[in-house]
Structure 1
Amino acid sequence: MSDKPKSAFDPKPPRRNFYGRRHGKTLRPSQKGYLSEDLGELRPRGISIQENPERSPIDPKAIFGDDRPVWIEIGFGGGEHMVHMAATYPEIGIIGCEPFINGVAMLLGKIRAAGVGNVSVHPGDARDLMDVLPDASIDRAFLMYPDPWPKARHHRRRFVTPEHLLPLARVMRPGGEFRVATDIPDYVRQTLEEVPLAGFDLTRETGEPWEDWISTRYEQKALREGRIPHYVTFRRQG
């Protein structure tokens, strides 16, 4: 493969398309309250062009106030997994990325209920966050039940393509862990083909979840509909 993970921060990211939904059903009053009252405090600064026109790298330490390990979840859905990880590992900081505003509102409600404080929420495309993260600044990344884009002509929209994986490889620390969960066999195929090419080694491929796993609503839907979950783990090379 000719493309390699960039070894330095790129201040001029390419223009890109976004696929998927940003809004769903009308939000409940409580969810609107979460967005207006909680999101501003939890949102990391310096990701948007308006806040960071020079696209200078942001400091993950500034987000959480210390040098704790930082994890990211790419597309956190309803937030069950992200809040569970934050509660299970209070010594880390976790940044969740999700452009679907209904999912963001659901996550904020779960954060309130759980009382976790080691979280940060980017209500947008994960690529925008990776544009401004420094090299080798992330210790673990999660891709839990991503959009399957089942039609063959849409496979290029999946996260497990070079457009997404090379920036992820740049921001991951050597030895950092990348977990993928999906119930779509062809997504597993593409994951196993593409992720190693971006600079990761496969360490685990199984139908058994991780020991610290919590089943999400997306997984429960897959099980009800007869699809089999699959769990894959990679390590960043280097």
Structure 2
Amino acid sequence: MPHFHTAQPQDFPMPFSSGGYEFVARFTNAHNPTQRLILVRQGKQEFFIRESVREGSTLYKCEKSTRLKPIGIIKDVLGILCARSSGVIGHNLSQNTPRQRTQSPFLLSKMQAYEFVLHHQKPLSIEVGFGSGRHLLNLARQNPSELFLGLEIHTPSIEQVLRQVELLGLNNLYVSHIDARILLQLIPNASLKNLYVHFPVPWHKKPHRRVISPMSLHHAMRALTPRDDESHASLGQSGFLHLRTDDREYFDYALSLALSLPKAQILIEKNATLPITSKYEARWRKQQKEIFDSKIFAPPCAQNAQKSLQNGDFVFRGACGDMASEVVRQIENLIASPALPKIVEKEYFLHIDAIYKHDSEYVIALCLGDFDEPQSAFVLLQNGAMRYLNAPPLPTQAALAAHRLLIHILESKDTP
């Protein structure tokens, strides 16, 4: 992560503009003044640089949950601040390479990935955790009339696949770092051809982090294209979830979930050979480990009729929409309270992690949504209006419920 250290906090007079960036304001944590956020804009894009005052030094780096691509943007902004700083004691701000300045059109942000699965016009398949990308790249090359979306959280893997997309001249393969468990909740019914989960992390000590779960399997079966009837012969026309793993415990767990479905047709293979071998599979085979496959086919149309969980939006209406004085008063009440609200309901939660202030403007740092797939967000209260920074959370049922609770808190006359 690009960063620089100074011997003491810096006084950057704001607002100012430099290098095509607007440095808007510095917001200070109302409960911890050693933590501050510098709001930066480039066109319609916004992000924060975090200033952390430590004993003997101050660290400047991008706030992780607002980080933009390419990384050259962050390095440019930090370089501007570093050049205006005194007492710099260290940095890793090397000159940007051409690749660090170039935004690949095939790299999708979380919101772009959401829009992509809503509006694609060709058959779409998704691979979760594509790693080296061999399997995903081969699918895209062999099926040029179809679309493919790879989901991965490992940045070097994303960059490696994007380079291959460029070298191979592919125009039907996109990648994103969005959480697959969240995206599955948002895919429209019967709109996904296939879903591939090859060699996922088994998470034996933290099973709630597994890609395959009761909730994700439910949404996969809903999102996959169903067959027209219940005949076994039509399986080849049905969408499927393909799990491939070397971990027998994980395989048995996923199989038990599939067998708990009201209706299930499952193809199981052991030590099957695919046209493309990933580097992980090559490693396991060299160690003579066994490989387990299961293809869980989408149920017939009648079984696939559940709706996706989308109902509402993230607009601030009412008093919050008008930034009435009562809302500002309530925010000040929250700041004055001993602890910020951390509310856990049966199906969702809302944590107000911090409130930052600059004059009469505020930033509210949130963690919200589903317990196993939480989302981070910032609400900006500026120029008499409230909005989420850059883009709202992804519209899962849990996130929407948490948003409504936030509005209730901000409009309440009593501090929760």
Task: Report the TM-score, using the length of structure 2 for normalisation.
Answer: 0.42
Partner of 2:152: 98
Partner of 1:179: 242
Alignment of 1:55-66 (within 5 A): 58=115, 60=117, 62-63=119-120
- Structure 1, unpaired ranges of 5+: 1-28
Alignment of 1:141-180 (within 5 A): 141-149=195-203, 151=204, 153-174=205-226, 175-180=238-243
Q: Kindly indicate whether the alpha-carbon contact (under 8 Å) linking 2:242 and 2:294 is maintained by their aligned counterparts in 1.
A: yes
Classify 1:196/1:119 alpha carbon distance in 2 versus 1 (closer, same or farther; 3 Å). farther
Partner of 2:288: 226
Considering only CA atoms, is the larger Rg found in Structure 1 or Structure 2?
Answer: 2
Partner of 2:162: 108
Moved more, 185-194 or 201-210: 201-210
Please tell me the residue identity of whatever aligns with 2:224: M
Where 1:136 maps in the other structure, the secondary structure is coil
Partner of 2:102: 37
Structure 2 residue 268 is the aligned partner of structure 1 residue 205: yes
CA drift of 1:195 comes to: 2.6
Classify 1:131/1:192 alpha carbon distance in 2 versus 1 (closer, same or farther; 3 Å). closer
Classify 1:146/1:197 alpha carbon distance in 2 versus 1 (closer, same or farther; 3 Å). same
Partner of 1:7: none
Please list the CA deviations of residues 108-160 of structure 1 after superposition, one character each: whole Å capped at 9, or x if unmatched. 122223222111111221123224322221011100111122x3x42332222
Where 1:205 maps in the other structure, the secondary structure is strand
Q: Kindly indicate whether the alpha-carbon contact (under 8 Å) linking 1:58 and 1:132 is maintained by their aligned counterparts in 2.
A: no
Q: Kindly indicate whether the alpha-carbon contact (under 8 Å) linking 1:181 and 1:231 is maintained by their aligned counterparts in 2.
A: yes
Pick one of 151, 175, 178 that aligns with 1:121.
175
Task: Report the TM-score, using the length of structure 1 for normalisation.
Answer: 0.71
Q: Kindly indicate whether the alpha-carbon contact (under 8 Å) linking 1:144 and 1:180 is maintained by their aligned counterparts in 2.
A: yes
Where 2:115 maps in the other structure, the secondary structure is coil
CA drift of 1:62 comes to: 4.3
Classify 1:36/1:75 alpha carbon distance in 2 versus 1 (closer, same or farther; 3 Å). farther
Percent same amino acid among aligned pairs? Answer: 21
Please tell me the residue identity of whatever aligns with 2:107: R
- Structure 2, unpaired ranges of 5+: 1-93, 227-237, 301-416
Q: Kindly indicate whether the alpha-carbon contact (under 8 Å) linking 2:180 and 2:211 is maintained by their aligned counterparts in 1.
A: no
RMSD of aligned Cα (Å)? 2.7
Partner of 2:140: 86
More strand per residue: 1 or 2?
2
Q: Kindly indicate whether the alpha-carbon contact (under 8 Å) linking 1:74 and 1:96 is maintained by their aligned counterparts in 2.
A: yes
Please give the alpha-carbon distance, in whole angstroms, between the structure 2 residues aligned to 1:34 and 1:235: 40
Q: Kindly indicate whether the alpha-carbon contact (under 8 Å) linking 1:34 and 1:109 is maintained by their aligned counterparts in 2.
A: no
Classify 1:108/1:43 alpha carbon distance in 2 versus 1 (closer, same or farther; 3 Å). closer
Structure of greater relative contact order (alpha carbons < 8 Å, 6+ residues apart): 1
